[in-house]
């Protein structure tokens, strides 16, 4: 008696089935990163299946899928990096569409990448690219038993060692992951405008740390620091000067060499006043481990009324002493600190905030919105430091010492 076959859907692979647990997002719901990450994950999972489960009989049949998936992951990662870097203006051109991983790697290596971290990651990939390109320059020999001209694939190789392949895939996968995230980070950094042809913002930050306080730049010791920075980042005299100009012009990076940039509207005195008033309304409170939250039906309405009175006094004090522009300045510092924004975004964020406050129907609502933030002090401290005023951040810390 034959076993009845399960009825297959009309489309055996792409039929729409409502299964929230095992439906995978692809196509219009997919992402390029799924391809970049997926093939190295597949290679490692296959290697783990053979070695950890001791599938000795699968050594020969799975060796090629393991190697091909690893090679394809490398190809996709190189293409991803090239295309994203070109899109943000970090490299001049894309690569012609083909499967030559050595050519793609060379394209990146020779692109004049203005970022030390990326240059180092590309260099780390060299042995993996050379090895795979040497035995399969276009992705054919790991997929087919014969080449397009009829020769046996991998005819110069007799055996491969799966534990070695696994270790190499793990190491290569780590580099590819770091490469992907560095490309993402570089895109964010370039949005600040703080970079030169030879240096990324991250490079400039490191150079600033090497140069020390600008007041010491007239000392003989500065020549040694300057020489070390130029050697580390391969900078000519002109490119070093460009780097220093960018550092001095950045609100955040300038603080690393002891330079501060004033806020546009908010003075130190007004900032301290606003945060001291806030601190009176929000005294430090030790968390109660037994507190289960607020019960709407069993509220202490006297406390509610008192809280409203205190908030009203706080808002009234700010309205009486700070202009719309000063409140907007304080608000921007809060959001820079809370979001970990680059200090270079301060001016654009402030322009937007001032415009919003000018258009608001009620000054009271705008002030209430920012002054009732329970994390206001901590985030304004972080924001002030990022926006070029670390001395103000130090001053604000005295309001509520740690």
Out of 141, 171, 190, a domain closes at 190
**Quick one: pLDDT at residue 95?**
97
**Total domains present in the chain:** 3
pLDDT at 292 over 70: no
Kindly indicate the confidence band of residue 291, based on its pLDDT and cuts at 50, 70 and 90: low
Q: What is the mean pLDDT of residues 145-153?
A: 85
**Quick one: pLDDT at residue 290?**
65
Does residue 220 sit in the same domain as residue 314?
no
Task: Summarize pLDDT for 235-275 with one digit per residue, the tens.
Answer: 999 999 999 999 999 999 999 999 999 999 999 999 999 99
Residue 369 falls within a domain, yes or no? yes
Kindly indicate the confidence band of residue 115, based on its pLDDT and cuts at 50, 70 and 90: very high
Cα 14 from Cα 102, distance rounded (Å) = 35
Q: Which residue has the higher pLDDT, 167 or 291?
A: 167
Q: Which long-range contacts (CB under 8 A, 24 or more apart) does 203-209 make?
A: 203/114, 203/115, 203/116, 203/233, 203/243, 204/243, 204/246, 204/247, 204/250, 204/253, 205/253, 205/256, 206/116, 206/232, 207/232, 207/233, 207/243, 207/247, 208/247, 208/253, 208/254, 208/256, 208/257, 209/256
The domain in which residue 230 lies consists of 201-257
Q: What is the mean pLDDT of residues 205-212?
A: 97
Contacts of residue 122, Cβ cutoff 8 Å, sequence gap at least 6: 105, 108, 109, 113, 179
Residue 246 falls within a domain, yes or no? yes
Does residue 229 sit in the same domain as residue 140?
no
Kindly indicate the confidence band of residue 301, based on its pLDDT and cuts at 50, 70 and 90: low
Task: Summarize pLDDT for 5-52 with one digit per residue, the tens.
Answer: 667 788 888 898 888 899 988 999 888 889 999 999 999 999 999 999
pLDDT at 297 over 60: no
Q: Which residues of 357-391 are buried (b: 16+ CB within 10 A; e: fewer)?
A: beeeeebeebbbebbebeebbbbbbbbbbbbbbbe
Cα 97 from Cα 65, distance rounded (Å) = 23
Give me the helices (H) in 88-236, please: 101-109, 116-135, 162-190, 201-211, 221-233
Q: Which residue has the higher pLDDT, 292 or 60?
A: 60
Does residue 216 sit in the same domain as residue 317?
no
Does residue 140 sit in the same domain as residue 274?
no
Task: Summarize pLDDT for 347-373 with one digit per residue, the tens.
Answer: 999 999 999 999 888 899 999 999 999
Kindly indicate the confidence band of residue 147, based on its pLDDT and cuts at 50, 70 and 90: confident
The pLDDT > 70 percentage for the chain reads: 95
**Quick one: pLDDT at residue 277?**
97
Kindly indicate the confidence band of residue 281, based on its pLDDT and cuts at 50, 70 and 90: very high
Does residue 234 sit in the same domain as residue 372?
no
The answer to whether the beta carbons of residues 247 and 207 sit under 8 Å apart is yes
Does residue 184 sit in the same domain as residue 221?
no
Contacts of residue 55, Cβ cutoff 8 Å, sequence gap at least 6: 49, 62
Least confident of 78-82, 107-111, 267-271, 296-300: 296-300
pLDDT at 295 over 60: no
Kindly indicate the confidence band of residue 287, based on its pLDDT and cuts at 50, 70 and 90: low
Out of 152, 168, 190, a domain closes at 190
Residue 88 falls within a domain, yes or no? yes
**Quick one: pLDDT at residue 7?**
74
The answer to whether the beta carbons of residues 174 and 130 sit under 8 Å apart is no
Residue 52 falls within a domain, yes or no? yes
Q: What is the mean pLDDT of residues 283-312?
A: 72
Q: Which residue has the higher pLDDT, 304 or 108?
A: 108
341's tokens: 């924004």
Cα 129 from Cα 77, distance rounded (Å) = 12
Does residue 207 sit in the same domain as residue 336?
no
What count of Cα atoms within 13 Å lies in the side-chain half-sphere of residue 24? 8
pLDDT at 106 over 60: yes
Residue 22 falls within a domain, yes or no? no
Residue 57 falls within a domain, yes or no? yes
Q: What is the mean pLDDT of the chain?
A: 93
Does residue 124 sit in the same domain as residue 65?
yes
Does residue 35 sit in the same domain as residue 152?
yes
**Quick one: pLDDT at residue 294?**
58
**Quick one: pLDDT at residue 312?**
94
Q: Annotate 243-275 with DSSP letters as a single string.
A: HHHHHHH-HHHHGGGT-----SS--HHHHHHHH
Out of 160, 190, 220, a domain closes at 190
Cα 357 from Cα 359, distance rounded (Å) = 5
Give me the helices (H) in 255-345, please: 268-281, 301-321, 324-339
Q: What is the mean pLDDT of residues 300-322?
A: 87
Kindly indicate the confidence band of residue 155, based on its pLDDT and cuts at 50, 70 and 90: confident
**Quick one: pLDDT at residue 94?**
96
Does residue 85 sit in the same domain as residue 184?
yes
Q: Which residues of 214-249 are buried (b: 16+ CB within 10 A; e: fewer)?
A: beebeeeeeeebbeebbeebebeeebbebbbebbee
**Quick one: pLDDT at residue 343?**
97
Q: What distances in angstroms separate CA 294 from CA 13, 91, 307, 343, one per listed residue?
A: 51, 56, 14, 38
Task: Summarize pLDDT for 318-353 with one digit per residue, the tens.
Answer: 999 999 999 999 999 999 999 999 999 999 999 999
**Quick one: pLDDT at residue 306?**
82
Does residue 156 sit in the same domain as residue 177?
yes
**Quick one: pLDDT at residue 307?**
81
Cα 262 from Cα 279, distance rounded (Å) = 24
Cα 315 from Cα 60, distance rounded (Å) = 74
Residue 364 falls within a domain, yes or no? yes
pLDDT at 284 over 90: no
**Quick one: pLDDT at residue 154?**
86
The 3-state DSSP composition of the chain as helix, strand, coil percent (nearest 5) reads: 65, 0, 35
Residue 102 falls within a domain, yes or no? yes
Does residue 245 sit in the same domain as residue 331?
no
């Amino acid at each position: 008696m034959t076993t009845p076959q399960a009825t297959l859907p009309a489309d055996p692979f792409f039929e729409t089935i409502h299964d929230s647990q095992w439906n995978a997002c692809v196509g219009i719901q997919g992402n390029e990163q799924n391809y970049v990450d997926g093939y190295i994950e597949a290679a490692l999972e296959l290697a783990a299946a053979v070695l950890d489960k001791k599938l000795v009989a699968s050594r020969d049949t799975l060796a090629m899928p393991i190697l091909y998936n690893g090679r394809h992951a490398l190809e996709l990662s190189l293409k991803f990096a090239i295309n994203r870097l070109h899109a943000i203006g970090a490299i001049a051109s894309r690569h012609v569409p083909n499967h030559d991983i050595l050519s793609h790697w060379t394209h990146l290596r020779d692109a004049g990448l203005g970022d030390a971290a990326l240059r180092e990651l590309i260099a780390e990939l060299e042995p993996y690219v050379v090895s795979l390109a040497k035995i399969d320059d276009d992705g054919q020999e790991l997929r087919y038993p014969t080449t397009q001209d009829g020769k046996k694939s991998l005819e110069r190789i007799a055996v491969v060692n799966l534990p070695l392949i696994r270790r190499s895939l793990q190491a290569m996968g780590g580099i590819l992951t770091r490469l992907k995230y560095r490309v993402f980070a570089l895109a964010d950094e370039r949005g600040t405008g703080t970079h030169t042809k030879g240096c990324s913002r991250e490079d400039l930050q490191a150079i600033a740390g090497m140069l020390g306080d600008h007041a010491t730049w007239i000392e003989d010791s500065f020549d040694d620091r300057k020489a070390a920075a130029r050697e580390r980042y391969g900078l000519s005299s002109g490119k070093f000067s460009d780097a220093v100009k960018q550092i001095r012009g950045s609100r955040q990076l300038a603080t690393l060499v002891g330079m501060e940039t004033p806020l546009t509207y908010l003075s130190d005195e007004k900032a301290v006043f606003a945060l001291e008033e806030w601190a009176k309304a929000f005294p430090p409170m030790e968390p109660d481990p037994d507190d289960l939250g607020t019960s709407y039906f069993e509220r202490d309405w006297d406390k509610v009324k008192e809280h409203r009175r205190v908030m009203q006094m706080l808002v009234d004090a700010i309205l009486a002493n700070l202009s719309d522009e000063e409140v907007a300045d304080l608000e921007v510092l809060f959001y820079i600190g809370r979001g970990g924004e680059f200090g270079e975004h301060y001016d654009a964020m402030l322009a937007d905030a001032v415009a919003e406050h000018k258009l608001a129907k009620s000054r009271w609502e705008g002030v209430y919105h920012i002054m009732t933030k329970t994390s206001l002090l901590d985030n304004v401290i972080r924001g002030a430091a990022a926006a070029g005023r670390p001395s103000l951040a130090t001053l604000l810390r005295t309001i509520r010492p740690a």
